[in-house]
Amino acid sequence: MYAWIWRHLPGTLWVRVLWVLIIFAVVVFVLFQFVFPWLEPHLPFSGNGSLSQ
């Protein structure tokens, strides 16, 4: 999959590296803004983070 993405990115090496960094930043942003907050209530270890009871 990553080889396919790399082959289809336009430009020279440095342009491709820049594209990869931009794509990575967008994916991380979407995960932290939308996916993780939606998923958090469904996880079995949701809570205040304390393991002692």
- pLDDT tens profile 19-46: 999 999 999 999 999 999 998 888 777 5
Residue 11 has pLDDT above 80, yes or no: yes
pTM for this structure?
0.71
pLDDT at 43: 77
- Amino acid, res. 20: V
pLDDT at 21: 95
pLDDT at 52: 52
pLDDT at 2: 84
- Amino acid, res. 53: Q
| DSSP letter, residue 10 | -
pLDDT at 47: 61
